[in-house]
């Protein structure tokens, strides 16, 4: 999920749900079936007829995440998407990610938040200036990373 990737900022949130869904390979009828879930999850009910160009980055993130996480994809790439938005929405996203993992989705989670990495991941790659420094068990490497930063 990249913030606003595939969105037309001049279109409304409602229009972007269907546009983004089409870009993800969903038919309009499938998006219509998921529409209310997307609106409910994003918590943007009162803003669905507003052009996305008027949204904050957090609102764009909410909509993008809600669209990208319908169904159960084989792989979901989440790149810093939980760095915007309020704490309660972040928890809601983490819960959805865990649910997807339990259903068999592989999550590639990119984050600078050691707490989120430790909470969501079982295996991690620690990159240092673009090079692999460590790969392995998340709790072990998170502990090592935390010690190196403090």
pLDDT of residue 55: 95
Across residues 8-29, what is the average pLDDT?
A: 95
Q: Among 46-50, 69-73, 96-100, 135-139, which stretch is predicted with the lowest mean pLDDT?
A: 69-73
**Encoded tokens for 119:** 């909470």
Token pair recorded at residue 40: 């409910």
What is this structure's pTM?
0.84
Our CA dihedral for 94, 97, 103, 104, rounded to 10 degrees, sits at: -130
Percent of the chain with pLDDT strictly greater than 70: 95
The HSE-up count of residue 72 (CA atoms within 13 Å, CB side) is 8
């Amino acid at each position: 999920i990249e913030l606003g990737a595939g969105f037309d900022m001049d279109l409304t949130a409602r229009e972007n749900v269907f546009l983004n869904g089409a870009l993800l390979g969903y038919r309009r009828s499938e998006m219509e079936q998921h529409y209310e879930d997307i609106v409910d999850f994003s918590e943007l009910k009162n803003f669905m007829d507003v052009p996305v160009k008027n949204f904050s980055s957090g609102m764009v993130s909410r909509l993008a995440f809600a669209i990208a996480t319908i169904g159960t994809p084989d792989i979901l790439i989440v790149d810093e998407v939980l760095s915007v938005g309020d704490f309660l929405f972040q928890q809601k996203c983490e819960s959805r990610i865990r649910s997807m993992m339990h259903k068999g989705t592989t999550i590639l989670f990119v984050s600078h938040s050691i707490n989120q990495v430790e909470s969501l991941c079982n295996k991690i790659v620690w990159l240092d200036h673009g090079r692999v420094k460590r790969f392995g068990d998340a709790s072990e490497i998170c502990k090592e990373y935390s010690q190196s930063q403090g």
